[in-house]
A = this chain, B = another copy of it.
């Protein structure tokens, strides 16, 4: 059962323990980066009264205008289990309204209130401050974004096609 017991693998670069360490690094690193980002957003968004996920929702609404929960979820890769309570909080804060669509009673249309639209003016400050916090220039940000997007695509593909066991 030992993966690497074959004596013919002389130049093998990565015994099991090294894989383990490397993997630890990448998952540690990504997890840490994600939470570090969360911390900065928390600080920057505090005087807007938004959490980071709420800010993402508002960004989509600012860009696309009114849209149903389903579409919102597609943009953000989130389902109604996450969005329903989040949107309820945004509604309680007076930033959005939710109304059943007349044409399709299953669908709930989410639209900005005047207050929600107005918040955009104060939010334009956010990206610059976040960018400053990263210490990266535009090229680096774009490059990193591209790598992360490729990574996400690969990981999603694994989800739909759970990687055949190696013979």
Contact = CB atoms under 8 A, between A and B. Distances in A.
A67 interface: no
B132 A29 contact: no
Interface in A20-35: 20, 22-35
A1 to B, nearest CB: 10
Contacts of A9: none
B33 A30 contact: yes
A30 B37 contact: yes
A48 interface: no
A124 interface: yes
> Top 6 A-B pairs ranked by shortest CB distance?
A23-B127, A135-B154, A133-B158, A34-B34, A36-B155, A29-B148
Interface residues of A, number: 64
Given A28-B56, A56-B31, A22 B138 contact: yes
8 contacts: A13-B138, A19-B128, A22-B131, A25-B141, A28-B56, A31-B56, A33-B34, A133-B158
Contacts of A27: 37, 41, 52, 56, 130
